Amino acid sequence: MSILLLLFAPGIFAIYWLIRLQICLSRMRYLVDTYSMDRKKLRKLSCKEIKALRDSIDTLRHANDAFGLETLVRPYRA
């Protein structure tokens, strides 16, 4: 039984890593498509930073703060 676990562990880890990568790329694609952000500028950010940026954008959007949203998004625009 432990031999099977040793054989399947790298595959399970690879699937987990690919899912996390796809989630991060999906967040980045959403920001690029919705707010016309530059992919090159977003590539410099880590996944945690992209998640925090999107959460901040969602918070400002729900608060209807257009000026705050614009100042947050402006440095990442193309």
pLDDT of 71 over the 90 cut: yes
**pLDDT bucket at 76, cuts 50 / 70 / 90:** very high
Higher per-residue confidence, 10 vs 2? 10
Specify the pTM: 0.80
Give CA angle at 68 (64, 49), nearest 5°: 105
Three-class SS of residue 77? Answer: strand
Cβ–Cβ under 8 Å, residues 62 and 53: no
Task: Give dist(CA 42, CA 29) in Å, integer.
Answer: 10
Written as one letter, the residue type at 36 is: S
